[in-house]
Amino acid sequence: MSLLVVEGASKRYGNVVALDGVSLEVAAGSRTAIVGPSGSGKSTLLRVIAGFEAADSGKVVLDGTKLCDDGFATPAHRRQIGIVSQDGALFPHLSVSDNIGFGLNGDARDRKGRILELLQTVELEPSMAERRPHQLSGGQQQRVALARALARKPKLMLLDEPFSALDASLREHMRRAVARMLHTANMTAILVTHDQSEALSFADQVAVLRGGKLVQAGTPQELYFRPFDGETAHFLGEAVVLDADIDGAIAECVLGRIPLDAPYPPGRARIMIRPEQFSMSDAKTDKYGSVGCPGQITFVEFGGAAWTVAVSVAGGTPVTVKVNSALAPAVGDRVRIDVAGRAHVLPG
C-alpha cells in the first residue's frame, strides 16, 4: 500500500524547469532514496512534498489526504511530515532534552517520559539529555535531530543529505543506525542524497532524477543491474559498456559470448557489465582455458580491499576489472578475464 503518492509534480523558477511532471509512489514502512546530479530536482521534490515550496501543477497525497492539487496546498506545519536536514538545525541555546521536546504537548511528566523514550530509540544515553549541541559529536547531533523529528510521530520522515557532513566511517555507521531506527519505528522515509552507494545500501526503492524528470524508479538491485540507459548505469557505479551482436538471450562481443539477463531482439546493441562481474587470472595459467578473454593490464589503482584494473582486450577495447588486493597486478601483465553472471542490454 502506498503511503505517499506524487502525481505529475512540476515546478519552475523563471525559465528553469526544476520538476517536470514527476510521479512517484512510496510504500508504507519503506525507505526511498532520491538521487541525481546537481540541479536534477531532487531537493525541489523534497521541498514540494514537505510543503516548503508550492508545486506549479501536480498532486501530493499522504495517507489518503490530499496535501496539494490545482493551487491548493496544506501548510508545511500541518502535513504530519518530519524532516532532518544536513546540519541537523538544532537550537544551540537549548539542551538535548529541550531540543527533542520542542513543540511537544502534555504535562511535564509525560513530556519527560517521551523524551527518554526517544533518546533510547536513537541509541543515546539518558545522561546526554542536559548537554548542549556543541558538546555532542556530529553523529550524536544527527541522532538528536532525528529524535526531535520523531517526537511528534509524523507519518513520513524526510532526510535531506543528513550524513554528508560526517566523515566516511561515521557516515556509514550512522546510515546503518538510522535505517535500523526507522525500521524499529515502522517509519516511512525519503532520503535525498548525492551518494549513490548510500542510496543503494539504505533504500528499498531508489528514484533517479535527471533534468527535473524521473528517469527510473525501482529496487536498488533493479537499478544497479538493469539501468534504463548508459547515463544511469554510470551514475550508479562503475560500468563497462560494450557493443555487441544480440542473438536472443546471448550477446557476442569482444569478450566472447555472454548470456543476457533477458531475451532481446536480434541486432546490434550496447551491453553493460559491472566491474565486479569480471574475474582475472594470469594468462600463463589454464584456469579458464579457451573460455577466458586474453588481455593486457594498462592501468592499476590501489583502493584498499580491491584494485581497480584496466585491461586492454581484443582491438584495444578497455575493460575495468575489480580484483582482490592480494593479487597485486602490475601494468604490462598479460591476463585472462572472464565474466560471471549476465549482461544487460541498454535500451536505445
Instruction: Tell me which residue range forms the domain holding 129.
Output: 2-234
Q: Are residues 81 and 184 in the same domain?
A: yes
Q: What is the pLDDT of residue 111?
A: 82
**Rounded mean pLDDT of 160-164?**
84
Q: Are residues 105 and 196 in the same domain?
A: yes
Q: Give the model's confidence band at 290: pLDDT under 50 very low, under 70 low, under 90 confident, else very high.
A: very low
Q: Is the pLDDT of residue 59 over 80?
A: yes
User: For residues 203 and 89, which has the higher predicted lDDT (pLDDT)?
Assistant: 203
pLDDT in tens, 104-126: 776 667 788 888 888 888 888 88
Which residues lie across from 191 on neighbouring strands? 33, 159
The model scores a pTM over 0.75:
yes
pLDDT in tens, 211-257: 999 999 999 999 999 999 999 999 999 999 999 999 999 999 999 99
**Rounded mean pLDDT of 59-67?**
96
pLDDT in tens, 135-149: 988 888 888 888 888
Rounded Cα–Cα distance for residues 46 and 159 (Å): 9
Q: Are residues 288 and 156 in the same domain?
A: no
68-71 contacts, C-beta under 8 A, 24 or more apart = none
Q: Are residues 176 and 294 in the same domain?
A: no
- Judge whether 263 lies within some domain: no
Q: Phi then psi for 31, rounded to 5 degrees?
A: -120, 125
Neighbours of 230 (CB within 10 A): 15
Q: What is the pLDDT of residue 285?
A: 56
Q: Are residues 184 and 52 in the same domain?
A: yes
Rounded Cα–Cα distance for residues 328 and 335 (Å): 13
- Judge whether 52 lies within some domain: yes
Q: Is the pLDDT of residue 288 over 70?
A: no
Rounded Cα–Cα distance for residues 79 and 62 (Å): 8
Q: Which residues contact 64 (CB under 8 A, 6 or more apart)?
A: none
> Total structural domains in the chain?
2
Rounded Cα–Cα distance for residues 287 and 267 (Å): 32
What HEC string does the chain produce? Answer: CEEEEEEEEEEEECCEEEEEEEEEEEECCCEEEEECCCCCCHHHHHHHHHCCCCCCEEEEEECCEEEEECCEECCHHHCCEEEECCCCCCCCCCCHHHHHHCCCCCCHHHHHHHHHHHHHHCCCCHHHHHCCHHHCCHHHHHHHHHHHHHHCCCCEEEEECCCCCCCHHHHHHHHHHHHHHHHHCCCEEEEECCCHHHHHHHCCEEEEEECCEEEEEECHHHHHHCCCCHHHHHHCCCCEEEEEEEEEEEEEECCEEEEEEEEEEEEEEEEEECHHHEEEEECCCCCCCCCCEEEEEEEEEECCCEEEEEEECHHHCEEEEEEEHHHCCCCCCEEEEEECCCEEEECC
**Rounded mean pLDDT of 57-66?**
96
Q: What is the pLDDT of residue 108?
A: 65
Q: Give the model's confidence band at 328: pLDDT under 50 very low, under 70 low, under 90 confident, else very high.
A: confident
Q: Are residues 180 and 303 in the same domain?
A: no
- Judge whether 54 lies within some domain: yes
Q: What is the pLDDT of residue 289?
A: 44
Query: Positive or negative, the Cα torsion across 82, 87, 91, 95?
Result: positive
Q: What is the pLDDT of residue 282?
A: 81
Neighbours of 198 (CB within 10 A): 19
Indicate which CATH number applies to the domain containing 100.
Answer: 3.40.50.300
